[in-house]
Amino acid sequence: MNEELTAPADVSIELLRRYNVPGPRYTSYPTAPVWTDGFSTRDYEEILAASQTAVSPAPLSLYLHIPFCETLCYFCACTVVITGNHSVEEPYLALLEREIDWVAGRAGEDREVVQLHWGGGTPTYFSPDRISRLAAKLAASFRFSPHAEVGVEVDPRVTTEAHLEALRNAGFNRLSMGVQDFDPAVQKAIHRIQPFEETRALVAAARGMGFDSINMDLIYGLPLQTVDSFRSTIDDILAIGPDRLAVYSYANVPWLKKHQKLLEPQLPGDHEKFEIFLTALARFTQAGYEYIGMDHFARPDDELARARRSRTLHRNFQGYTTKAGTDLVGMGVSAIGAIGDAFVQNRRELADYRTAVERDGAATFRGFRLSFDDRVRRAVIGNLLCHGVVVVSEIELDFGIDFPRYFADSLARLAACAEDGLVEISPDEIRATPLGRIFLRNLAMAFDSYLPSQSAKPLFSKTL
C-alpha cells in the first residue's frame, strides 16, 4: 500500500531552505570524494583474490560503461565522450574485450553472474553487430545465472528496432530509457529533442519483443519547467506505462560540468522545484506506483517494490537493486567496482584508460578500503535509504556495538530532524516519517563521519 503523501502546503519555505543543502546521493559509503588515488592494478588483483577466498564467495554483478554520445545534453553530469564519428566503436570494444579477459581470469570462473548492466553515455551508440559481439564475449567469459537480471540504458533518439533485437537475442530482459521531460521548450533548453511518439513507439516495440521490465528516467528542476508543464509530461508517461520510474532531482554541479552554466538563468526556484517533485509523487502514487524512495517508483507487483516491503532492497552504483550480497565489478572508462569491503575505480579519461588497459589489462587508479566504522555506518545509511528504518537491535547484533553510545553524535544531529517531523527516534528504531522519506539524503547525512571535513569544498548537488 502507498503511504500517506505530504501536500505542498505542509512544507514551509523555511524548512526547504534548511534541508535543501549540498549532500551525497549515497550510491556508496564512504562516498567517492573520500577515496584515494594511488590504487594500482596490483591492489585490484589483491582485492579480487581476497573476495575469492571468502568462505562463500559472493555472486557477481557486472557493470560496463560505454561513454559515447552523439550530442551533449546540457543537464548531463555523466562521464561521456561526445562524437558523431562512430569509428571510435571498434577500438573501444577491443579495449573492453581485453579488460573482460583480465577480470574474468581473476574474478573466478565458478562465480555466478546474477546481474549485468550496461550504462553510459549511450550503450546503443554501438551498432547492433557490436552489441552482439560484446554480449557474446561476456557470455563466453563468465557463468551467468539463468535468472540473471540483464539490463541496459537506451536512448530512444538513436535506438532502432535492430538494436532492440540484438539486445533481446543476447539475453537482455530490462531496458532503462531517459526521457527527462516531454515539453518541447524544456527539451530545446537542455539540447535534447525527443518526441513523445518516438519514445512510445520504442517502448511498444520492446514490449513486443518480450522485455520483462521497462524503466523511464525523468528529471525535475530543469530549465523552464513548471508544475503544469511537468504534469503534462507525467500524463504522457502514464500513457506509456513503464514498470519503474526514476524521477531524479537535477544535479547542478557547474564546478564539475561547465556546460551546466548554460542552464542556470532558466532554472526554477527551490520552492517551485520541490512542488514539481511533490506533484510527481502524488500523481504517480495515485496512478498505482509505489514510492521506493530517493526518487524511485515501481508498480506494487514489481520485485523492487516487494524487496522494499520485505526489507531486502539494496543500493549500489546502479541505484536500487534486489541483488544484495553481490560483488560489483565495473569495466570500461570511469567504471566503479564494490568488492567485499573495498571500492575501486577505473581511469576517467579515455586516453588514460586506453593506455592502462593496453599496458596492464586493467585501469584501476583509485579506491578505498573500508574500516570497521565505515562498515557500521554503511549498514545504517543503507537501511535508511532502502527501507526508511534502522532497527537498533539488528545493527547491535551484526556489529557488536552499543547503538546509542556508538552513534551519540549522530542521534544528536537527528534530533533537529525529529523536531521538524522528518524522523521518529525510539530505543528500538529510527524511522523516517512519510515527509522524511522525501528527505532521506538529509537523514543519512547525520551518520556520515566524513561530511564535516568536506563542507568547505563544492562536491555535491543539493538534496532536493
Q: What is the pLDDT of residues 173-227, one digit of tens each?
A: 999 999 999 999 999 999 999 999 999 999 999 999 999 999 999 999 999 999 9
Average pLDDT (232-252) is 95
AA identity, residue 200: R
Q: Where are the domains of the chain?
A: 26-369, 372-454
Average pLDDT (17-41) is 91
Angle formed by the axes of helices 392-399 and 372-387, nearest 10°: 150
Average pLDDT (255-269) is 91
**In the structure, what pLDDT confidence band is assigned to residue 455 with cuts at 50, 70 and 90?**
low
CA 290 remoteness from chain centre:
18
Full-model pTM: 0.93
**In the structure, what pLDDT confidence band is assigned to residue 259 with cuts at 50, 70 and 90?**
very high
AA identity, residue 168: R
- DSSP β-ladder status, 68-69 and 81-82: parallel
φ/ψ (deg, to 5) at 217: -105, 130
Encode pLDDT of 314-357 as tens digits. 888 877 888 888 999 999 999 999 999 999 999 999 999 999 99
- Judge whether residue 443 has pLDDT over 80: yes
Question: Position of cell 516519517?
Answer: 433
Could you tell me which of 128, 61, 92 has the C-alpha nearest to residue 314? 61
26-369 carries CATH number 3.30.420.40? no
- Judge whether residue 453 has pLDDT over 90: no
**How far is Cα 69 from Cα 78, in angstroms, rounded to an integer?**
11
- The pLDDT of residue 9: 45
**In the structure, what pLDDT confidence band is assigned to residue 6 with cuts at 50, 70 and 90?**
very low
**How far is Cα 26 from Cα 450, in angstroms, rounded to an integer?**
12
User: How large a percentage of the chain has pLDDT more than 70?
Assistant: 97
AA identity, residue 66: I
φ/ψ (deg, to 5) at 412: -65, -40
**How far is Cα 307 from Cα 350, in angstroms, rounded to an integer?**
37
- Judge whether residue 82 has pLDDT over 70: yes
Measured between its terminal Cα atoms, the distance across the chain in Å is 25
**In the structure, what pLDDT confidence band is assigned to residue 457 with cuts at 50, 70 and 90?**
low
Q: Is 212 left (phi over 0), alpha (psi -120 to 50) or beta?
A: alpha
Burial (CB count within 10 angstroms: exposed 0-12, middle 13-18, buried 19+), residue 324:
middle
Quick one: which H or E segment has residue 440? Answer: helix 440-445
- Judge whether residue 53 has pLDDT over 90: no
CATH architecture of residue range(s) 372-454? Orthogonal Bundle (1.10)
- Judge whether residue 236 has pLDDT over 70: yes
